[in-house]
Structure 1
Amino acid sequence: MSCPDCFSGSVHEGQPRGSIIKLHGLDTYLVEPQDGKPIKGIIVMIPEAFGWSFVNNRILADHYANKSSYRVYLPDFMLGHSAPPRLLGVVRSLSSSSIFMKPFYLAIAMVSFIPWIYYNRIARSYPVVKAFFTALRQSAPTSPTTNAPLPIGAAGFCWGGKHVVLLSQNETTTLADGTNAPLIDAGFTGHPSFLEIPGDIEKLTVPVSFAIAEKDHRVGPKEAEIIRGIVVDGPGFAQDDAKKGEVTVYEDAGHGFCVRADVRSGTANVARQAEEAEDQCLRWFDRVFGV
């Protein structure tokens, strides 16, 4: 079940520079590396509640492409049923309003909460996500300069974090040459929700990097230690340190800090931690992909 923190935060300023394409049946925001850098891999973003069209998510996709040589896809995995950005203001009013006004704002919030939860429950959404990644892997994307197969990473936030973890649980597909390949080569998730801990983590077969907020009531420091005990301190994947996962806890950060932190609040840590989480994601994919 979702919580108010999943729908709180601020809208960021900026003009996304990417383009809209149709990819494997889904409307998709695409952004390429700058300055003609050769593409060394693909990052597919699986967003939080506000979905593929939310400016914050598109700006984050731009940041990934601007800082690296990754092609970034941000598909409409919610099939047009993402939460409306106006909900951010409603949740803010709900938390700060008087006891007399709370029922009013709660009623307005529920008008958006309930449809979002219905249309985007994991049992309904994961088949859409899995089908996209299956088609992407089977299309065998290659580097335009070397013709080598491009590694595929998934970066998910809140709702999207659950999907990254599921994709990392021995999900494979058969390629044209008859060999089996994992749907993704590595995963990253910031402030994930809906996780079953330790069960979901114990099933991982693909290395995943976790960015956890200290003040997150969904997956916080206690859960981070459990995750660390499995993906970092546990036996890992074939005893290969390069394939182990990683866990970083961001001090004083709250749920949504990777995407919806109020960078205009004047709190220096907010913008810095959001940027550090961006860099964590890119370093992780560089490390696992060996690029």
Structure 2
Amino acid sequence: MACPNCFSGHIHEGTPRGEVTSIHGLPTYMTKPLDDVPHRGIIIIVPDAFGWEFVNNRILADNYAEKGTYLVYLPDFMKGHAAPISMMTSTKEVLNTSGIITWLMKPYYIASVLKDAIPFIYWNTFEASWPIVKDFFKSVRENEGAEVPIYGAGFCWGGKHIVNLAAGVDTASNGKPLLNAGFTGHPSLLEIPTEIEKISVPVSFALGDKDVVLKPPQIGQIQKIFASEAGAGKGEVVVYEGAGHGFCVRADFVLDDASKQADEAENQALAWFEKY
């Protein structure tokens, strides 16, 4: 089940430079390296609850393309049922505990959050979205990604998909794995330790020690699995001190270190992909 922190955060300033097109049957934001430099691999982003149209996610895609020289896809895996951006304002007020007016208005904001959250949860269960995500990765691997590395980056809602892709159970018709390496920032809804133990394709985790979704005891479980003989080489965990849920894509850049942590997580993903 999603929590309020899955729908909170901040909108970043910037103008995405990529283009909207249709790729393998899904509306997709696609962005390339600057100056027509040839790409050296493909990154597919499985986004947070705010989906493929959210400006933060598109700016992140642009950064991956520019910094890493990758072709980046950000598809509409939610088929038009992403959480509306207006939820950020409502959720902020639900979490706000200062002032009597805030408390008087809280029932209104709670109702507003539920009005938007319930449809999102209904349409975007893992059982519904998993075949869509898996088939897209498979199509990319069998076509334009047949001879280049494919990487997956998943955030919050999208993180569970990356972890399951990394189990390596599913392959393309050419026998190749659906991705070469994965990255996830503050994933939600993970089944720990089960899904972590199944990882066979290397995954890098960017986690905040103040995350209320994936808490320190669970972070410790993931670290323990990767430190074991069976989990050696299958992943890494980087913990960001003071960071909460959503910091990779929805951080408040007014706060100290928030922008720095988001940049570090971005570089963490690119360094991981470079390694593999």
TM over 0.5: yes
TM-score relative to the length of structure 2: 0.95
- The aligned counterpart of 1:61 is 61
- The aligned counterpart of 1:127 is 131
Give the alignment of 1:82-101 within 5 angstroms: 82-96=82-96, 98-101=102-105
- The aligned counterpart of 1:156 is 154
Asked if the contact 2:208/2:245 (under 8 Å) is kept, the reply is: yes
Note the alpha carbon deviations across 1:252-282, whole angstroms, 9 max, x for none.
001000000111x2x2310000000000000
Question: What is the distance in 2 between the residues matched to 1:205 and 1:226?
Answer: 17
Unaligned 5+ segments in structure 1 are 143-148, 238-242
Tell me the matched-pair count: 272
- The aligned counterpart of 2:201 is 206
Structure with more of its chain in helix, by fraction: 2
- The aligned counterpart of 2:264 is 276
Note the alpha carbon deviations across 1:83-124, whole angstroms, 9 max, x for none.
010110111122226332211110111110000000001111
Asked if the contact 2:197/2:231 (under 8 Å) is kept, the reply is: no
| Partner amino acid, structure 2, of 1:184 | L
Note the alpha carbon deviations across 1:193-217, whole angstroms, 9 max, x for none.
0001001100111110000011011
TM-score relative to the length of structure 1: 0.90
Question: What is the distance in 2 between the residues matched to 1:30 and 1:89?
Answer: 28
| Partner amino acid, structure 1, of 2:65 | A
Asked if the contact 1:172/1:180 (under 8 Å) is kept, the reply is: no
Asked if the contact 1:191/1:212 (under 8 Å) is kept, the reply is: yes
- The aligned counterpart of 2:141 is 137
Report the CA distance between 1:235 and its aligned residue: 2.8
Unaligned 5+ segments in structure 2 are none
Secondary structure of the residue that 1:28 maps to in structure 2? strand
Report the CA distance between 1:180 and its aligned residue: 1.5
Give the alignment of 1:1-291 within 5 angstroms: 1-96=1-96, 98-141=102-145, 149-175=147-173, 179-236=174-231, 243-263=233-253, 265=254, 267-288=255-276
| Partner amino acid, structure 1, of 2:105 | M
Asked if the contact 1:162/1:193 (under 8 Å) is kept, the reply is: yes
Secondary structure of the residue that 2:221 maps to in structure 1? helix
Structure 1 window deviating more from structure 2 (33-42 vs 60-69): it is: 33-42
Report the CA distance between 1:138 and its aligned residue: 1.1
Question: What is the distance in 1 between the residues matched to 2:228 and 2:214?
Answer: 19
Question: What is the distance in 2 between the residues matched to 1:234 and 1:27?
Answer: 42
Question: What is the distance in 2 between the residues matched to 1:37 and 1:227?
Answer: 37
Question: What is the distance in 2 between the residues matched to 1:88 and 1:19?
Answer: 25
Question: What is the distance in 1 between the residues matched to 2:195 and 2:131?
Answer: 17
Asked if the contact 1:250/1:273 (under 8 Å) is kept, the reply is: yes
| Partner amino acid, structure 2, of 1:276 | E
Runs of 4+ in 1 over 3 A off after TM superposition: none
Question: What is the distance in 1 between the residues matched to 2:114 and 2:207?
Answer: 27
Report the CA distance between 1:234 and its aligned residue: 3.4
What RMSD over aligned residues (CA atoms) do the two structures have, in Å?
A: 1.3
| Partner amino acid, structure 1, of 2:108 | F
Structure 1 window deviating more from structure 2 (94-103 vs 246-255): it is: 94-103
Secondary structure of the residue that 2:248 maps to in structure 1? coil
Question: What is the distance in 2 between the residues matched to 1:3 and 1:227?
Answer: 21
Question: What is the distance in 2 between the residues matched to 1:31 and 1:279?
Answer: 18
